[in-house]
């Protein structure tokens, strides 16, 4: 959970089933650039990916302290490998397949980019659907749903309890999944500006235009979150919410307890009588 500069990771420890909550320091680099509209989207995306990896490593250390954990070098290599695979599978391969059709390769850039974008989206949806069938990933998606339900309870000014959180939906308009769907749509429009050059120039243009796509997409997501009460905004947000039906799942009560513990930590409303083991860790019985 994140609230401004405060980030907390809550994990149910396997040894004794207690919930451990720890602070996760945020990074201050490029803070000013991260406040500039259309530029902040790229920095925000990188920051969230970095926070996600650090949170996963920290949660593994808490849940399974006896297991060997990834080093900083191993984490970086994992991040780099994931980035290479993502660019190859979601940019280069769809582009190559669309470019292999003579009618598309020599035709309208708008039609070409539309077909390329649809191929990219099908690949991504297929990937998400496939991993959602995996038991451990399904548990991750359940925790994702618990996060959203807890945020909804807080936004409704309700006390953060399991019963209050359970009544809410797992779909949230400001979710990172909605951001990804926005990226796919904006990418089709932005990549069309590059025309229909040779294959290597298309690949280069996609990579160079990614920051532009991220910047526009982030501003669109912010606007959607702030104006979700407007009917046309809700209508445009439906694809992103629909995608969350794959990336979120109905959580169990014990998962909601973990999400609530993290939310209380970043909001400063946690139980002050809970035993504190270190300056940055709280154990919730």
Q: 177 versus 251: which is more confidently predicted?
A: 251
Indicate whether 53 belongs to any domain. yes
- Can you say how many angstroms the Cα of residue 41 is from the centroid of all Cα atoms in its chain? 13
Indicate whether 65 belongs to any domain. no
189-239: pLDDT as tens digits: 898 888 888 889 998 999 899 889 989 998 998 888 888 889 998 998 898
CB–CB of 141/247 below 8 Å? yes
Helix (H, G, I), strand (E, B) or coil at 157: coil
| pLDDT at 94 exceeding the cut of 90 | yes
Indicate whether 94 belongs to any domain. yes
* Phi, psi of 64, deg, nearest 5: -130, 70
> Which residues lie across from 278 on neighbouring strands?
281
Q: What are the start-end ranges of the H helices in the chain?
A: 40-63, 72-87, 93-99, 102-105, 109-132, 135-155, 162-166, 176-191, 199-226, 231-247, 253-267
Indicate whether 66 belongs to any domain. no
Indicate whether 189 belongs to any domain. yes
Indicate whether 68 belongs to any domain. no
Indicate whether 33 belongs to any domain. yes
Total domains present in the chain: 1
The predicted structure's pLDDT at residue 276: 42
Least confident segment among 15-29, 100-114, 166-180, 264-278: 264-278
166-198: pLDDT as tens digits: 999 999 988 888 888 888 889 988 988 888 888
Range of the domain at 158: 2-60+73-284
16-50: pLDDT as tens digits: 889 999 998 876 666 676 678 888 877 777 777 77
CB–CB of 22/9 below 8 Å? yes
């Amino acid at each position: 959970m994140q609230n401004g500069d405060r980030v907390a990771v809550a994990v149910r420890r396997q040894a004794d089933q207690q919930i451990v909550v720890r602070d996760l320091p945020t990074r201050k680099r490029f803070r000013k650039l991260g406040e500039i509209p259309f530029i902040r989207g790229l920095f925000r995306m990188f920051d969230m990916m970095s926070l996600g990896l650090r949170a996963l490593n920290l949660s593994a250390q808490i849940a399974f302290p006896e297991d060997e954990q990834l080093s900083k070098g191993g984490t970086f290599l994992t991040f780099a490998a994931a980035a290479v695979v993502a660019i190859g599978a979601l940019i280069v391969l769809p582009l190559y397949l669309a470019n292999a059709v003579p009618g598309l390769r020599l035709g309208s850039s708008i039609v070409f980019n539309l077909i390329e974008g649809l191929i990219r989206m099908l690949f991504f949806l297929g990937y998400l659907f496939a991993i959602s069938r995996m038991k451990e990933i399904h548990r991750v998606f359940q925790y994702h749903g618990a996060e959203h339900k807890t945020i909804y309870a807080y936004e409704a000014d309700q006390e953060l309890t399991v019963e209050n959180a359970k009544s809410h939906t797992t779909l949230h308009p400001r979710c990172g999944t909605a951001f990804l769907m926005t990226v796919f749509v904006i990418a089709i429009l932005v990549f069309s500006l590059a025309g229909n050059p040779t294959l290597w120039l298309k690949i280069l243009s996609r990579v160079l235009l990614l920051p532009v796509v991220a910047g526009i997409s982030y501003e669109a997501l912010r606007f959607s979150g702030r104006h979700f009460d407007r009917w046309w905004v809700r209508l445009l947000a439906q694809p992103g919410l629909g995608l969350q039906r794959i990336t979120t799942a109905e959580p169990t009560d014990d998962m909601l307890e973990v999400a609530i513990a993290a939310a209380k930590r970043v909001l400063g409303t946690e139980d002050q009588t809970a035993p504190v083991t270190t300056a940055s860790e709280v154990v919730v019985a």
